[in-house]
Structures are given as structure tokens and as C-alpha cells.
Structure 1
């Protein structure tokens, strides 16, 4: 009788929540997505759905996908290369959010500084600052430059954008 009573109470609670956004949603995102997308999304969700608890975790793309597969996250914001698509594991779906244009940072006195757009071949002989080997963005840089016939010369490795820019 006690178990049946608890089931009835749970069903009544579910009915009381019908049509409302409540509970918890867990989001994972790579660092720049977490910094650029999460604050606005969290503010909008709090304003529109005050009973929804949102938990975020900063994870690189592959660990983010694994977190969703394990059930540790409900959604992961990941990078997907336009020139080399990331596989989508069974049971998951991909939804395109937007295209992100790559930026190249140059010293103010560099001959290419100030241009509105450049081609990768313009940097064929340049020395690069890159993320550490094995990081998603490093792999993207190497793959993208090599696909243009450019063998990148990596002179410096830094895992933080501020360090790279400095």
C-alpha cells in the first residue's frame, strides 16, 4: 500500500508539472563555446524557465560526446570541421548551430595585418603558435594547412588563447 501510495504521489507530481519546464539539464561545451554561448543561454533559460536547473561543464569535443553517451551530460556543444566531419556515435543526433570562421591573429606590423581576409597560402612560410599536440584545435590547424599543401612550422605551443595572443 505504501509503494502504491508513493507511485500515486509521483504521478500526481508529474501531472502538476505538465506543460512546465522543470528539472535539470546538463550541458557540456568546448572552452570557447562555454565562454561565448553558455552565459547568454543560461540567462535566457533562467528568465524563461526559472524552475529549470542548468549545469554546465567545460569539455573538449570528444570528452563532451563521451559524456552524452555515458549519460553524464544531456547535450554537448562540439566542433565539427567543414573539411573533415566528426562521426556521430549511434544513439546520438547532430544539430548544426552555426558556422564559425577561423581568425588569424597577427602582430600589428605584420605585412598581412589589417587585411579584411587572407588565404591560408599567404601563411605558407610563417611560424605558428598552436594549441598543444593532441588538442582538437591543433589537429584542425595541422589538417587544414596540410590539406592546402602547407607544412606548418609550429614554433610555440600554448593551451590558452591569451597566451597564444601574447
Structure 2
């Protein structure tokens, strides 16, 4: 019988590429991960890993087992959700991930309604960039998360994660009538590796130039303060620009950011996740969009 816990480690190795990265994600030692994967090979009866020095890659059989592992783990998530539903209403801890704008604007009313309707539920929020959410969900560090995607940035798909759309919002440019008009300006973007940074770079590339990035700032309130001080131009989503500084003109662009709820496949029927997504959707319907 194949151990689902070992299958999870194999799936993470397929996604992360190294034993060390898997160990960090699941808070094991690299030695423990290696031992578990070796035990899985013995259970499977065929080589799953090919080791060359310190490099480990999956064999054809390893890749085949990862495909089946995803289906097995998804069914286990469904079973966990179904069992939770038999225990009554949502209760216990609920680990929620959110990017900063959503944490500030959407979560306070959503969590107030959620805990008011379900006093036994204990939401615990952690700020996280959407680019890191899939790994955190797969590792069990989060139960549900708010993520975003942009028109100009194709979403990163993950077979183990599913999403539900909540709302979309326009994007604004500070101080200039168009992206092309900001060709010669200094730019303020989010840190490299974030979706917001990628969106800004691609918007400039679509206008025919590479931006000269002077500042990397993730907090949009700070971004607007820098723009007000003449330190550069920036792209800012609507929720971050509800109350902009008076001396920062904003131009609405034909770009949008979409916010979604994300959770592990099969786990969406868990009572706590269902209640959270419902609360997110209700709060989103009341946003000043």
C-alpha cells in the first residue's frame, strides 16, 4: 500500500526540484525527506528517482506516480471535507492567506461577518504574495487564500489548486495620461518576483519600452506617497487608490486585476472554506468598485 504522506513528498519534489526545497516546505530535514522517498520507492517496487551526485530527478515511473498521487490526495481532501461537514457548523482554526490590499480592504468586513455567523471559527490571517500561495496551500500552511491575477500576466496553473472568482478592479497610472507617455520617467514597481511587478513590466513592454525602475515597493500607500513626492510613476489597482493623495492624478487604464479565492482541490466543500468564500463574496459585493 502506498503511503499518501510519501506521495505528497513526491509531488512536492516534482514541483520544487530539490530535496532541500521539499524539506523546507514541509519542515522536515533533507535526510528525513530522502528516507521517506526511498521508502516510497520500496513500496512502489520500481525506481522513482534518478540520483546523479547531489541532483535528483524523477524517472518516468516517478512522473506517472505523481499524476496518480494528485488524484489520491484530492480524494483525501474531499474525504476530510465530508467528515468535517458531519460535525456540524464551521469551527476551529481557519488559516487564511491574503495579499496586502485584500487584507486591508476586504478581510476586515468579511472576517467580522464570518466570526459573527460562526463564533466557533478562528480565522488566522497571514499576508502572502499570490505567487507563493500555491506552495503554501499544498504544504497545508493555509486552508484558503485570496490571490490576484492580471490581464497582462497569464495565471500560473497548479493542478492541485482550484479558484473561485470574487471581483475585478481597474488599474490606474499615476501622473501621466498613458503608459507610453511615461517612457522617460522613473518607475516605482513592486519587488521582482511578484505578480504586480510582472504586470508593470509587461504593461511598459506592450507600450514599446523597458521601464527605468528606481524604487521597488510593495505597499501601495507608500507607492502613492512616493509618487506624490515626485519620485516616479506607478501602476496602482483601484482598491489601493480609493483615497489617493490629492496631488497624484490617476489615469484609468484598460487593464484589470482579478481577485479570487484559492484552496486545495477537493477541499472546497469543507464547511469552514465554504463559509469563508461566502463571506469573501459578500464583502466583495460591497466594495466601492
* C-alpha distance in 2 between matches for 1:49 and 1:16: 16
CA RMSD of aligned residues (A): 2.2
* Superposition pairs of residues 26-65 of structure 1, within 5 angstroms: 26-65=95-134
The one-character-per-residue Cα deviations of 1:113-149 (angstroms, maximum 9, x if unpaired) are: xxxxx43223233221222333332222101211232
Shift of 1:17: 4.0
Matched, 1:122 2:181: yes
Among 109, 132, 153, which residue is 1:84 paired with?
A: 153
* C-alpha distance in 1 between matches for 2:114 and 2:168: 23
SS in 1 for 2:222: helix
* Superposition pairs of residues 2-151 of structure 1, within 5 angstroms: 17-18=87-88, 20-106=89-175, 112=176, 118-151=177-210
Greater helix share, 1 or 2? 2
- Structure 1 stretches lacking a partner, 5+ long: 1-13, 107-111, 113-117
Q: TM-score, with normalisation over the residues of structure 1?
A: 0.74
Greater strand share, 1 or 2? 2
* C-alpha distance in 1 between matches for 2:95 and 2:115: 14
The one-character-per-residue Cα deviations of 1:78-97 (angstroms, maximum 9, x if unpaired) are: 12121222122112112111
Matched, 1:160 2:219: yes
Q: TM-score, with normalisation over the residues of structure 2?
A: 0.45
SS in 2 for 1:63: helix
- Structure 2 stretches lacking a partner, 5+ long: 1-83, 227-289
* C-alpha distance in 1 between matches for 2:142 and 2:86: 26
